[in-house]
Structure 1
Amino acid sequence: MAKDKTQYTCNECGGSSPKWLGKCPHCNAWNTLVESVAESTAPAKNRFASLAKTAEVTTLADIDATDVQRTPTGHDELDRVLGGGIVEGGVVLIGGDPGIGKSTLLLQALDSLQRANVKTLYVTGEESGAQVALRSRRLGLDGSQVSVLAEIQLEKILATLDHVRPGIAVIDSIQTVYSEQLTSAPGSVAQVRECAAHLTRAAKASGTAIVLVGHVTKEGALAGPRVLEHMVDTVLYFEGDTHSSFRLIRAIKNRFGAVNEIGVFAMTEKGLKGVSNPSAIFLSQHSEPVPGSCVMVTLEGTRPMLVEIQALVDSGGPSPRRLSVGLDRDRLAMLLAVLHRHAGVACMDQDVFVNAVGGVRISEPAADLAVMLAITSSLRGRPLPKGFIAFGEVGLAGEVRPAPRGQERLKEAAKLGFSVAVVPKANLPKKNDKSFEGLTVHGVDRIEEAMELARSLA
């Protein structure tokens, strides 16, 4: 009996090699080649016949296109991340750490949609139907009419989708599904890629919205080839510490809405509940102002949120440390250099620790000014005044650059009762604008101006 030929497939890009290599020749990733059985070339000519559709060339002006119709899921925070709701024929990929709440949220969403007379289907490959039913009862979804299918074979799943014709179907998870056309094991690069391609085509052809649940690697990226993210319409990531009760869902890609939009949820005994005012999570409750604390307004997609930046400056040894949680560590080192050069605040012999409260990650440079003011406040031991906020990007020359959509940030701060703001001059509101009543806004051009102003206000 002839021995099956083997090949080595890259977990990152899906490229193949006839022999094992330490570095993938296609994407240059290290230690990503995994041995698998080479696919037979005999049935290849028929495998993708169902995916090929005859189409005519036409111009954009002649195409009859209307705005996509959205179906609300019954969860406002999830709808916000999706761009307003589920789109007919849309394919959503949602990933996150094990136990963070992916299956829980999707089961709750399916139950809400079913109660709104939308036909739903939950395909589980990791649990039995009884386990899914037990979870639904724990969540308080008594009498739920969500249809459940415990199956991992792609052909049977596609046949069920064609027969049942649900409005939305959840595949939990894509790594457990396999196709008979391939000989590799479920979860391999070839299986994940092919199953996702067939499910995507089925969604576009039938109008069924499909949600794929994806596993993540140790680094937090979606497992399998990156081509999986390119096939789908929307990619969502679950974020948050499993020891905390709060979860964040972030849109990394969305063809029907804004990217980097986030939804905030709180994990309760009855499942995930949306948090309508997430700014309260990311602000510590101090009875009196404390040194080293400064509040900023960050933008997550289209949502302005207030986040508290905390800094602790302490005497260090011969090798002072620079640590940050929720902020870029390299940018922290750059800001300390700018602070020394242009504002005369020296921290070269001090340990500097910076933290964004609540576990949120801030990647935008508009946090620069708040970080520098918090560091200076901790170093001097003088708290900033109560009701104080700041935002703005700081350049290497010491200039304070404007932040995008500064008016929306200031309106959010005024709505929550803040009274003093230090912002770039380009972000100053118009004189006749009455939406900032109760908020005194100071504009600065240079970092030394901001430091002087903060000292005069403290």
Structure 2
Amino acid sequence: MSSKPEAFLCSACGNTELRWVGRCPSCDQWNTLVEVGAVLESSGEQPHVVQEVSVSESLPYSTGLAEVDRVLGGGLIPGSVTLVAGTPGVGKSTMCLHAAVNVGSHGVSTLVIAAEESESQVAARARRLGSLSEHVSLMATASLGDALRVVSETTAKVVVVDSVSTMVDQSLRSPSGGVTQVRAAAEQLAAIARKRGIALVLVGHVTKDGDIAGPRALEHLVDTVVYIEGDRHHQRRVVTTTKHRFGPSGEVGLLEMGPQGLTSIDDPSAALVAERGPALPGSVATVLAEGTRPLVVEIQALVTPAVGTPARVAQGVSATRLRQLAAVLDAHCDVGLVRADLFVACSGAVRATEPAVDLAVIAAALSAFQGHALDPGVVCIGEVGLTGSIKGVAGITRRLEEAARVGLVTAVAPPGSTAPEGMRLISVATVAELLDALVSLRDTKSDTTKRPL
């Protein structure tokens, strides 16, 4: 059952407005607008027995990028609405166009609606991504009315709208990109896609704070929210889902941007470990478990003398958690970090926000503060509490197995952890015990000269 929005009717001329105003814009009469109640309409839909509902049409369409397919749980589901968001220049349009070209190459009709570029611009980029198929169609328009008409009539099974933030409904008085325009475009396009079983991909913009531009209801409207992150000047891109109705959310995929578009990184953990280089103070490995696949990453720390108020700067890790961990170090280890600036980052453009990286952050900070490099084969996993105790984390065995697979040989973990065969396990229950254990984990080949602050 659908509902027409409530309106205000002018008793003098019959003009309708979506909201009340003192003077009617049509006849210039004052105080003539009265509220008209919403009118409910029935679509005639009837309930169906679940056992009789066909699921054969729900098989996903592969995007051609293995990492993206894994994040999406196999690909684009017919009748689903996927929102792809990211900063300008990060590769949103390239990734979505790559998916459309790949689906079309398998004989499935696809349609790309370009609201920001001309047809020639999109076609030129599509040719760089691979051989084009006659099953891929392109239309350049920012008019929501034209887009709705084409989506209602098309035979395409996959439709990409780039971007929903620039679609304009001429019947609305709000500016392009406003909350009203974005909501209207997303709601109407999603309704048609679900009714016709079309896999709809909406490209969205983000604000300077990293949030999706437009109404918050936009994220509730879609089935899947995909973020693509990374530095536009760097090749690596990180794809993750914050919402996914067809599988687990939080999955992470790694891509590389090259002259031919985006390609998947076959073994992300091995690729990130290979980038570490020689043993240096402030570098420690840890393992994330966002989603179903563990991922080995490097935590880096830098400690310098503070000039004024000590700074706590985080990149890729939680800033709040970093300040908390620095306070725990000062309270329970008395290392003098309170007089120093502390910078911590997660390398590889990956976000390490789960508590399991706490132990690695503290180990990296101590290594940088003391000027001693740790053995590159060490991995630290564990959550640190305010009392200085080190707690266990979910999936510790799975994390350690991934660390052993990529060549890490020594694990520092909470008591009760089980290491795979061939890996040395050092159990630490408090940060004070960690401080003592780090002495035996120093890399003997590197310079161990302490740098006083």
Give the TM-score, by structure 1 length.
Answer: 0.83
Provide the secondary structure at the position in 2 that maps to 1:303: coil
Q: 1:322 maps to which residue?
A: 312
TM-align CA RMSD: 3.0
Q: 1:220 maps to which residue?
A: 210
The sequence identity of aligned pairs, in percent, is 39
1:110 aligns with 2:97: no
Q: 2:422 maps to which residue?
A: 438
Q: 1:308 maps to which residue?
A: 298
In the alignment, is the contact (CA less than 8 A) between 1:318 and 1:349 conserved in 2? Answer: no
Amino acid in structure 2 at the alignment position of 1:239: E
- 1:382 offset after TM fit, Å? 2.0
1:119 aligns with 2:109: yes
Provide the secondary structure at the position in 2 that maps to 1:427: coil
The verdict on how the C-alpha distance between 1:138 and 1:286 changes in structure 2, with shifts beyond 3 A counting, is closer
Match of 1:366 among 347, 350, 356: 356
Q: In the aligned structure 1, how far is the partner of 2:221 from the partner of 2:398?
A: 34
- 1:149 offset after TM fit, Å? 1.5
Superposed CA offset, 1:396-436 (max 9, x none): 1111111111111111101101110011123324xxxxxx2
User: How is 1:406-421 mapped onto 2 (pairs within 5 angstroms)?
Assistant: 406-421=396-411
In the alignment, is the contact (CA less than 8 A) between 1:165 and 1:208 conserved in 2? Answer: no
In the alignment, is the contact (CA less than 8 A) between 1:403 and 1:427 conserved in 2? Answer: no
Q: Which moved more, 1:105-114 or 1:66-75?
A: 66-75
In the alignment, is the contact (CA less than 8 A) between 2:284 and 2:376 conserved in 1? Answer: no
Q: In the aligned structure 2, how far is the partner of 1:358 from the partner of 1:144?
A: 38
Match of 1:83 among 62, 66, 73: 73
- 1:76 offset after TM fit, Å? 0.6
Q: In the aligned structure 1, how far is the partner of 2:406 from the partner of 2:431?
A: 26
Match of 1:247 among 218, 233, 237: 237
Q: 1:455 maps to which residue?
A: 439
Amino acid in structure 1 at the alignment position of 2:421: E
User: How is 1:158-169 mapped onto 2 (pairs within 5 angstroms)?
Assistant: 158-169=148-159
Amino acid in structure 2 at the alignment position of 1:91: V
User: How is 1:264-413 mapped onto 2 (pairs within 5 angstroms)?
Assistant: 264-283=254-273, 285=275, 288-413=278-403
In the alignment, is the contact (CA less than 8 A) between 2:79 and 2:195 conserved in 1? Answer: yes
Amino acid in structure 2 at the alignment position of 1:118: V
Q: In the aligned structure 1, how far is the partner of 2:43 from the partner of 2:346?
A: 50
Provide the secondary structure at the position in 2 that maps to 1:141: coil
Provide the secondary structure at the position in 2 that maps to 1:148: strand
Q: In the aligned structure 2, how far is the partner of 1:215 from the partner of 1:174?
A: 8
In the alignment, is the contact (CA less than 8 A) between 1:402 and 1:425 conserved in 2? Answer: yes
In the alignment, is the contact (CA less than 8 A) between 1:367 and 1:392 conserved in 2? Answer: yes
The verdict on how the C-alpha distance between 1:126 and 1:61 changes in structure 2, with shifts beyond 3 A counting, is closer
Superposed CA offset, 1:68-117 (max 9, x none): 42222221111112111111100001111222111111111111111111
Q: 1:150 maps to which residue?
A: 140
Amino acid in structure 2 at the alignment position of 1:86: L
Superposed CA offset, 1:278-301 (max 9, x none): 224544645642222111111232
Q: Which moved more, 1:183-192 or 1:295-304?
A: 183-192
Provide the secondary structure at the position in 1 that maps to 2:90: coil
Q: How many residues align?
A: 419
Q: In the aligned structure 1, how far is the partner of 2:35 from the partner of 2:108?
A: 42
The verdict on how the C-alpha distance between 1:144 and 1:43 changes in structure 2, with shifts beyond 3 A counting, is farther
The verdict on how the C-alpha distance between 1:425 and 1:128 changes in structure 2, with shifts beyond 3 A counting, is same
The verdict on how the C-alpha distance between 1:152 and 1:324 changes in structure 2, with shifts beyond 3 A counting, is closer
The verdict on how the C-alpha distance between 1:409 and 1:349 changes in structure 2, with shifts beyond 3 A counting, is same
Superposed CA offset, 1:35-69 (max 9, x none): xxxxx9999968x96xx5334578x9778575842
- 1:455 offset after TM fit, Å? 1.6
In the alignment, is the contact (CA less than 8 A) between 1:322 and 1:353 conserved in 2? Answer: yes
Q: In the aligned structure 2, how far is the partner of 1:276 from the partner of 1:63?
A: 40
- 1:370 offset after TM fit, Å? 0.6
Q: Which moved more, 1:365-374 or 1:446-455?
A: 446-455
1:141 aligns with 2:131: yes
Provide the secondary structure at the position in 2 that maps to 1:264: strand
Superposed CA offset, 1:354-373 (max 9, x none): 22122322111111101111
Q: 1:71 maps to which residue?
A: 61
In structure 1, the gaps of 5 or more residues are 8-15, 20-39, 430-435
Q: 1:170 maps to which residue?
A: 160
The verdict on how the C-alpha distance between 1:441 and 1:246 changes in structure 2, with shifts beyond 3 A counting, is same
Provide the secondary structure at the position in 2 that maps to 1:87: coil
Q: Which moved more, 1:61-70 or 1:221-230?
A: 61-70
